[in-house]
Structure 1
Amino acid sequence: MTKKRWLFIGKLSVLLGIGCYWQSHSLSSSETYHNSAETIKHTYEHDLFTLSAYKQEHFGLRLFRQTQDPKYLTLIQQNIADIAIKLNQLADDLAEQKSLAPYAEQRLNQYRQSHSERSQRRLQATVDKPEYFYLGLDLLRYMARIDSYGLKHKDDVLFRQRLLDYPFAALFSNQEMIQAWAAQLANQAYWLKQLELGDYVELYTQTLQQTYPDDQDHLLTKEQYENKIYGMTHLVIADSGYYQHSVNESDHPWVFHYFKNNIDTIIANTKQDVISEVGISLLLAGLDDDPAVDKTRQAIQHSIDKNAGLVPSAKGNINYNLGEHRNLLAILLLDWHQPTVGPNIHSIPQIFESLPYGLEKKE
């Protein structure tokens, strides 16, 4: 199949498949969406502690921000402890001036062993940028997370200097990096802004648009089209502080115009994670009544495997562990609550009374 044909075939599948579902289920209510979300939530919470610590914490933090249910606070405390351990190790590595190449080599070897388009693009784009794995993908992410809690690491000054010295502007203007890491770069642009280490959001947005002009969608592979939409959704989700506050539609006019006008193409040609993130992005902007939101909800609801009680992958895989991200997003989309700030030292001070070694409250 040529690259140009997949969009057409995807659109046709919407007209012949999902479109029929929407017509026959046009009266789906918020209650049915809520029930579907509860089904998935029950599936995941039943065996939540069989997931990796990272996935448990990812699940718990986002659901707490949506529901304020205190049962997730244990996972958040676990997240604080895990990040402290990681930052302590990174601080030791930097203090000892260890080479960052071995750190990156572990990631690069994973891409060398995979022949997928995404892995090969990531290998090509970052093989000569070992510090990106260390500083951009890890250190910056951990610093932004504890900052959102109202905390900092004892070596905050050292960390900040290393991040200031790193040429992030060159990454945000690099189309090859965008093609490999669109969503991650959107996150990093907002994390740097959050930490007051530079505002690269506009530069990133411009490069994303230049990399993926809307009138050239038909030239993209399926994977590159998903990468484009992922980058667009993360502009909104990162702007919200990951479901902590609403965003202004006017701050991302290109993104929201595209989502509204291309929702059928998006649903037909992207995986469930992306579809959910598009719907959530619209909800974050207060566009609850836009028809595109209901289309994403119907598509995700329709994709639920009732026997497994979860949303399988696009290939039908119902692996519980691999599907955590996809199913968490489905829960958020189908049972949306208003964004809530926190948790942090001000909103829930009791969980920050005893901090793990290396972390301290921001002044």
Structure 2
Amino acid sequence: MKSLNVGLVFFLSLLVWGVYAETASSPLNKSEPFPSYQQDAELIRTTYERNLYTLPAFKMGHYGLRMYRQTQDAKYSAAIWSDMARVASRLNKFATEVNTPEQIKAYSATRIQNYGKKTDVRGKLRYAATRSQPEYLYLGVDLLGSMARANEYGLKHRDDKILREVIRRYDFAKYATDPAMIRAWAAQLANQVYWLRQLGEQDVVNEFIEAFKATYPDSKDAELTDQQFMNKIYGLTHIIFAASEYYQHAINEKDFQWVYDYYRNNIDTIIERSKEDVIAEVGINFLLAGLDNDPVVDKTRKAIQGAIDRDAGMVPSVKGETELLDGEHRNVLTIMLLDWRGAHEVPTVSKQPEIFVSVPYGLISQ
């Protein structure tokens, strides 16, 4: 009897240990609460910040600037300096080497050739829409973004006058109101028309928005391919982002009522037909307008949270890829969506002078 009791105790011990081991090895077993949105944001933040300074300057700056605008944490200062250096290098090149019509033509010809090699749907659309006006790649994609970023920091290029003279040679409405260009570059054009306004140059924001609405009437959504549907939503989200000067200023919902009404009426379709970065951007558009408790925000957060690969500590691509470089955009957006800290007009040379003690060559205070 004694031996039977010992055997029974041993058997029960093994059984209990087996249950414990299985439970302990499961990151999300039924007895544990599901991670909060903030906890999942921290999971992804840890993944990226462990490797932040291994990323190229553009990606490092993209991540660091957004995190600084959210947190004002000085640990992102080096990433911001790297971004300033990238901007300075590009503007230095344009001010000294690419500013005459002949130089711009040669530069743009090289840029468009690279698009001619692309085989994806978006790449082909961009090549077809831009090959007859390749200077757009220089003016809109390369020059305006760098000038606007310097402007946000409270800086400008030492040859700002030369660069503005270049901008004024072109009528940007030509690009911003072209339906083929909108179908290829909706989000980028949204950025660029607002950058022009920000810089005090040609204002074609309203013309772009009217052309965008005409290119993508809501009644025709069902006829769009998934790629074109996402291009439409991406364009909408960037209208809001650009109007906020990229998370620096709160948005008044009434100024963009047509956008928010569209989101509310179509959020389930957006989630079904869009990639995670586009879904996250829709949610952040609501947060920028102070609409934290809108049901759309929770729907986007749940959709994104459900896409997280917890072993990789990030949101993978639609193909399941977990490469840090390619995933930076959607994952920094995920952090912002899940752990929103508000809009802040930072960093600027006047408000955070400690970040701008050593400004890269070519940039000066406005």
Asked if TM exceeds 0.5, the reply is yes
77-86 or 144-153, larger mean C-alpha shift: 77-86
Give ranges in structure 1 of 5+ residues lacking alignment: 1-24
Structure with the bigger RCO (C-alpha within 8 Å, sep 6+) is 1
TM-superposition CA deviations, 1:228-274 (whole Å, max 9, x none): 00000000011111111101111111111001111000000000010
Tell me which residue corresponds to 1:359.
Answer: 363
User: Do the aligned partners of 1:100 and 1:130 also contact (CA within 8 Å) in 2?
Assistant: no
Pairing partner for 1:66 from 49, 66, 70: 70
Write the distance in 1 (CA, Å) between the matches of 2:322 and 2:158: 42
Counterpart in 1 of 2:22?
Answer: none
Counterpart check, 1:279 vs 2:289: no
Say yes or no: does 1:52 pair with 2:43: no
Q: TM-score, normalised by structure 2?
A: 0.88
Can you list the C-alpha shifts for 1:94-140, whole angstroms capped at 9, x where unaligned? 45654323323343233322222111110011101121111111111
2:168 is equivalent to residue 164 of structure 1: yes
CA contact (8 A) 1:186 1:235 kept: yes
Partner of 1:197: 201
1:290 corresponding residue in structure 2: 294
1:312-338 deviation per Cα after TM superposition (whole angstroms, max 9, x unaligned)? 112212111110001000000000011
Percent identity of the aligned residues? 49
1:200-239, aligned counterparts within 5 Å? 200-239=204-243
Alignment of 1:236-275 (within 5 A): 236-275=240-279
Structure-2 separation of matches of 1:116 and 1:347: 43
Tell me how large the CA RMSD over aligned residues is: 1.6
Q: Distance in 2 between matches of 1:242 and 1:156?
A: 22
Q: Distance in 1 between matches of 2:189 and 2:67?
A: 24
Q: TM-score, normalised by structure 1?
A: 0.89
For 2:262 and 2:101, the matched residues in 1 are separated by 45
Matched, 1:300 2:304: yes
Q: Secondary structure at the match of 1:360?
A: strand
**How many pairs align?**
335
Q: Which amino acid aligns with 1:211?
A: T
Q: Deviations over 1:193-249 (max 9, x none)?
A: 100102211111111110000010011011000000000000001111111110111
Please state whether the residue corresponding to 1:322 is helix, strand or coil.
helix
Tell me if structure 1 keeps the 8 A contact 2:99–2:166. no
The whole-number CA distance in structure 2 between the counterparts of 1:312 and 1:95 is 40
Matched position secondary structure for 1:76: helix
Q: Gapped runs of 5+ residues in structure 2?
A: 1-29
Q: Kindly provide the amino acid, as one letter, of the partner of residue 88 in structure 1.
A: N
Q: Which amino acid aligns with 1:333?
A: L
- Report which of the two structures shows the higher radius of gyration computed on alpha carbons: 2
Of 239-248 and 102-111, more deviation after overlay is shown by 102-111
Distance in 1 between residues matched to 2:98 and 2:305, nearest whole Å: 47
Alignment-derived partner of residue 10 in structure 2 = none
Secondary structure at the counterpart of residue 199 of structure 1: coil
Which secondary structure state, in structure 2, belongs to the residue aligned with residue 238 of structure 1?
Answer: helix
What is the distance in 1 between the residues matched to 2:269 and 2:110?
A: 36
